[in-house]
Amino acid sequence: MKTVAVLGATGSIGASALDVIARHPDRFRAGALAAHRNVDALAALCARFKPDLAVIADASREADLRARLRVAGIATRVASGAQALIEAATLASCDTVIAAIVGAAGLESTLAAASAGKRLLLANKEAVVMAGPLLRAALDAGGGELLPIDSEHNAVFQCLPPARSGLDAAGVRRILLTASGGPFRGHKREALHDVTPARACAHPNWSMGRKISVDSATLMNKGLEVIEAHFLFDAPPERIEVVVHPQSIVHSMVEYADGSVLAQLGNPDMRTALAHALAWPERVAAGVAPLDLLKIARLDFEAPDRETFACLDLAYGALEQGGSAPIVLNAANEEAVAAFLDQGLAFVAIPQVIESTLEKVQGAPARTLPEVVDVDLTARRVAQRIIASAKV
C-alpha cells in the first residue's frame, strides 16, 4: 500500500493523479492533499479521499476550509501557508509525493520531498528548471527516487535502460522530445498578434492548466522540457532534439548508438504517466482507452518553427549559458504568461519580455535555495518593469 501526498490536488495533474489513485484502493491512498486557494474543490476532495492532512496555501482561507470539513464531519487535519506545504511534502505517513503545483510556487515543497527521501513524482517542471542541481543533491542526500510525470520525460525514462549509468555507458546517442506544436502550429508570427488567452489555452490534444497551455502555444513548454531533460537525464543540450509530432501519440524517443530508436506511445492522457510512476516497477490500469493505431492511421513529424516560436531557442540559449540563466528564463516567462492571461501583454511579446529580462539579469550559478529565490525575485521585478513599459 502506497500513501500519496498530492501537491496541486485541485489542478489538472492533481485530478488525473487522484483518478488513478481512486481506481486502486488496494494499492494507493491519498494521505495529504494541498491546493492554493480553492476551498470548494479541496473540501470536496477531502470528502472523497479522507486524507490525514489538507493544506490550503493561502492562509486567509484556512478558517473557511476548517469550517467546511467540520460541518461535513470530516476528520482531516487542516493547515495553511508555505510551511504547511513543506509539511505535506514530508509527512511521515506518505511515502510518495506528487509535485504538481504550477510554477516556482512548487519549488520548496518539491525540494523538501526529495530531501525527505520520498518517491517523488515530478510534474512541476519549473522546479527542475530553477534548481536542477539542488534537486539532484536533495535526492542523493534523501535517498529517494524521482519518477518523471511530464509525458515526454516519462517516455524517455521508459525507453532508457533501468540502470542509470550515464548516456554514453548506455549507448544513447540522443534524446528526441516530441512536441505537439500547440494550437498555433503552422502559423507565422504576423498571424499571432491578436491571439486571446482563450485561443492560446485551446490545446489541440491535451487538456491542461492555463499556464502550461500558454507555454505549449509559445513552445516555451518544450524549452522548459529541454532543460528538464538535461537535468533529469544528465544530457548535454546538443543531444536533446525537439521534433514536432502533431498527433501527440509518440510521447518521446531515445536514439541508441546502433541506430535503434525506442519510443513510448499512448493516447494523450496524463493518467498513463501517473499510473506508470505510481506503480513502478509494476504496471496498473490507468483508465486510459487502448491506443487504436488503425484509427490514428498516421504519425507525422516535422521540424519546429524556431523563428515564430522564439521561446524554444531562448530556452536552449539559457541552458547553454548556464549559471542562473534558466532561473531568469523561468521567472520572466511566468510573469509574461500571467500578464498575457490578464490581457496585459500581447502573445507575441512573451518571448521579447523573456529575452530582455535575460539580457538585464545575469548572475553566477545560484548554489543554495535562498540564492535561487533571490535570482527568481530579481528577474520577476525586471520582467514586470519590461511588461509595464511594453505596448500591449
Q: In whole angstroms, give the CA distance from residue 90 to residue 342.
A: 34
Scanning 202-210, 315-323, 343-351, 370-378 for contacts with ligand NAD by CB under 6 A, the matching segment is 202-210
Comparing CA positions, the residue from 87, 83, 154 lying closest to residue 116 is 87
List the single partner that 158 binds among ligand NAD, Mg ion, none, CB under 5 to 8 Å by kind: none
Residues in region 9-68 near ligand NAD by CB under 6 A: 9-14, 35-36, 38, 57
Taking the CA atoms of 200, 202, 204 and 206 in sequence, report the sign of the dihedral they define.
positive
CB of 334 to ligand NAD, least distance (A): 10
What is the rounded distance in angstroms from the CA atom of residue 4 to the CA atom of residue 21?
Answer: 9
Q: How far is the CB of 380 from ligand NAD (least distance, A)?
A: 14
User: Judged by CB under 6 A, does residue 179 bind ligand NAD?
Assistant: no
Query: Strand 261-265 vs strand 250-256: parallel, antiparallel, or unpaired?
Result: antiparallel
Nearer residue to ligand NAD within complex by CB, 8 or 132: 8
Q: What is the four-CA torsion angle of 28, 29, 32, 38, rounded to 10 degrees?
A: 100
Residues 15 and 42: beta-carbon distance below 8 Å = no
Measured CA to CA, the distance from residue 232 to residue 227 in angstroms comes to 9
Per-residue binder mask for Mg ion (CB under 5 A), 141-180, x = binder:
---------xxx----------------------------
Which of these segments, 7-15, 179-187, 243-251, 297-305, binds ligand NAD (CB under 6 A)?
A: 7-15
Using the rule CB under 6 A, is 270 a contact of ligand NAD? Answer: yes
Supply the minimum distance, in Å, between the C-beta of residue 178 and Mg ion. Answer: 9
Question: For residues 198-233, b (16+ Cβ closer than 10 Å) or e, as one string?
Answer: eebbebebbebbbbbbbbbbbbbbbbbbbbbbbbbb
Q: Please state the closest distance from residue 294 (CB atom) to ligand NAD, in A.
A: 26
Q: Least Å distance between CB 271 and Mg ion?
A: 14
Q: Cell numbers 501519440 correspond to what residue?
A: 249
Question: Counting contacts by CB under 6 A, is residue 206 touching ligand NAD?
Answer: yes
Among Mg ion, ligand NAD, none, the one that 51 touches (CB under a kind-dependent 5 to 8 A) is none
Cβ atoms of 175 and 196 closer than 8 Å: no
By C-beta, is 7 or 226 nearer to Mg ion?
Answer: 226
- Can you tell me whether residue 293 is helix, strand or coil? helix
Among 87, 126, 269, 376, binds ligand NAD (CB under 6 A): 126
| 268 prior amide bond cis, ω within 30 | no
Interacting residues with Mg ion (CB under 5 A): 150-152
Interface with ligand NAD by CB under 6 A: which residues?
Answer: 8-14, 35-36, 38, 57, 85, 100-102, 105, 123-126, 150, 206, 208-209, 212, 270
